[in-house]
Each structure stands twice: as C-alpha cells, then as structure tokens.
C-alpha cells in the first residue's frame, strides 16, 4: 500500500520469467497481488519448515516475519517475476531435502528436490549452476549413491528440457538483467547497505547463539544447518555477480532464505537478545519510513 502511494519501487512493463520469457500481458495490479500472495506463502513455508525440523526447542514464528521484512527491500516483493518464483521452488527444494534420512530410501525426495531446483533454474536461468551445490547438499545428509545422483540429474534436467524447447520455438531472448535501472536506484543501493549492516550485526549475534546450540544439538540438525550454509554461499555468489556485472543488488535476495532461518537465533541469546530486538525494530521501522525519505 505504501509503495502504491509513493511509487518508490517502480514496476517494469514486463515480467521477466527466465526461460519462459517476458510476459507483458500480465495485468500490473494482478502481478502485484500475486507477488504479495507468493511472498506470504514463502514466509509461511519457511516458518513451517523451521518449526517442523525443530531448529529451536519451541515453536517460533519470527522466521516468517524476518523473510517479509528482508524481502521488502527488493523489487520482487512488489511485483511478480522469475526471481520470486525461484525463491518458492528453492524453499520447496529445502523442504524435500530436509525430509531425507541417512538410513532410509531417499530416491523420491532427492528426485523431487532436484525437480524443484530445476524449476527454480528455469525461472532464473543463472540458477542452473546450482546443480553441483545441490549434490553437495544431498551428500551432507546421505552417503553417495550413484542411482540417486542419476535421479537428481534427471529431475533437475526435466524442467530445463521443457523450458529449452519452449525457448527454441518461441524465439525469445533470455534477459539476465532483472530490472531496468531507474535514476533513483542508487538510493535503493544505499537502503541495501544500511539493511546489510543491520542484519550483519543480527547475523553475528545469531552465530554466537548457534555456536552454543551446535555443541548440544543432534547430528541431524547440524546437517540441516550445513545445507543452509550452502544456500548462504549461493546467495553470496549470485549477489556479487549481480552487483559487479549489472550494478544491481536484486540477486542478494537469495540470501534472505537462509538468513530467515539463521537470524531467529539472535533473539534467543541471553546476553544480546535485547540488542537484537532493537536492531530488528530499527530495520522494520526503516523499511516503512524509507518510502518517504
């Protein structure tokens, strides 16, 4: 609603859906409503995965709120695009990976997780490089099994095969530049810098709490945390690539998925929990008032 009133985050005339092309025919108002629904779904899905896998001893609902506040600094929060859909499928991938067990048949979950990561790559083509990272995530939980690796490659390739056929017959060109930079994009980069400083401080506090928790946690939780570290690496690599190649910060949004899991630990620190709450509310307030600055 604030963005509708201020026009702070400009809307592109087309929706970049990766291999599936630009979709200029989507009604802009419909794209905004659909984006808010998908962002909300992503937030609830992250929170459900967080609680069902017992990242904390008790249920917590901060991870959903963290994802919403973090994503509000990116254009994908306000209008549907392939990047936002890639978020959804990466979260679905995490859901399938987190269902893996070391001594149980994991073929179904591995295939499903690979299929979802392939869908993410179809909506955001640079994500095709995620396949080796995906295999490392699988082997974090399970030993190497050639049949499972083959299933993963097939599952990952199926969406790309259909997308490639559509790309060939439609004749459109993949546009790797996510948004058309506006004259005030420098201001948005300043917003990102301020947000990065605040959430880096929260992240440091989270690591302090997480370090203590890892000493007492189960081996399974340690493996799930390791998978999230792979997600952090993916987000960092894509973010810096976007910054240095296109001068944009939109792909840093991939970091928001694992950070939504990690930052919740900062509020459970007995020593610095109050400071973490202050930092969070400062960021939340800034995400609202920056529309008027």
Identify whether 206 is part of a domain: yes
Handedness of CA 197, 252, 56, 210 (dihedral sign): negative
Confidence bin at 187 (pLDDT 50/70/90): low
Q: Which domain holds residue 277?
A: 13-289
Question: Which pLDDT tens digit goes with each residue over 235-248?
Answer: 999 988 888 887 77
- Whose structure tokens read 């984006």? 35
Identify whether 8 is part of a domain: no
DSSP-assigned letter for residue 49: H
Q: Give the number of domains in the chain.
A: 1
Measure the CA–CA gap between 90 and 97, rounded to whole angstroms: 10
| pLDDT of 14 higher than 80 | no
Question: Which pLDDT tens digit goes with each residue over 87-142?
Answer: 999 999 999 999 998 888 889 999 999 999 999 999 998 899 999 999 999 999 88
Question: Which pLDDT tens digit goes with each residue over 244-283?
Answer: 887 778 888 999 999 999 988 888 777 778 888 888 898 8
Identify whether 215 is part of a domain: yes
Measure the CA–CA gap between 44 and 64, rounded to whole angstroms: 6
- Inter-axis angle of helices 62-71 and 28-52, to 10 degrees? 150
Identify whether 5 is part of a domain: no
Q: Where are the beta strands (DSSP E) in the chain?
A: 15-16, 22-23
Identify whether 4 is part of a domain: no
| pLDDT of 26 higher than 70 | no
Identify whether 2 is part of a domain: no
Confidence bin at 48 (pLDDT 50/70/90): very high
| pLDDT of 12 higher than 80 | no
Identify whether 199 is part of a domain: yes
| pLDDT of 182 higher than 60 | no
Identify whether 83 is part of a domain: yes
Residue of 239, 18, 247 whose CA lies nearest to 128: 18
Provide the pLDDT for residue 44. 96
Q: 198: burial class by Cβ within 10 Å (0-12, 13-18, 19+)? A: middle
């Amino acid at each position: 609603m604030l963005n509708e009133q201020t026009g702070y985050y400009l809307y592109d005339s087309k929706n970049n859906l990766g291999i599936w092309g630009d979709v200029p025919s989507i009604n802009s108002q419909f794209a905004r409503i659909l984006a808010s629904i998908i962002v909300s779904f992503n937030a609830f899905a992250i929170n459900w995965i967080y609680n069902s896998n017992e990242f904390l001893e008790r249920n917590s609902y901060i991870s959903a709120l963290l994802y919403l506040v973090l994503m509000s600094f990116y254009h994908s929060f306000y209008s549907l695009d392939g990047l936002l859909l890639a978020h959804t499928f990466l979260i679905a991938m995490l859901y399938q990976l987190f269902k893996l067990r070391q001594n149980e048949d994991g073929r179904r979950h591995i295939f499903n997780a690979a299929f979802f990561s392939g869908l993410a790559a179809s909506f955001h083509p640079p994500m095709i490089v995620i396949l080796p990272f995906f295999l490392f995530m699988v082997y974090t939980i399970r030993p190497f099994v050639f049949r499972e690796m083959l299933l993963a490659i097939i599952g990952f390739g199926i969406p790309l095969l259909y997308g490639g056929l559509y790309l060939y017959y439609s004749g459109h060109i993949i546009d790797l530049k996510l948004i058309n930079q506006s004259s005030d994009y420098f201001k948005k980069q300043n917003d990102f810098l301020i947000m990065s400083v605040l959430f880096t401080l929260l992240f440091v506090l989270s690591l302090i709490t997480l370090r203590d928790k890892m000493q007492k946690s189960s081996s399974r939780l340690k493996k799930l945390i390791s998978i999230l570290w792979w997600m952090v690496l993916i987000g960092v690599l894509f973010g810096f690539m976007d910054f240095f190649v296109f001068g944009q910060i939109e792909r840093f949004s991939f970091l928001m998925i694992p950070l939504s899991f990690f930052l919740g630990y900062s509020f459970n620190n007995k020593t610095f929990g109050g400071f973490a709450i202050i930092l969070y509310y400062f960021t939340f307030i800034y995400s609202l008032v920056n529309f008027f600055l």
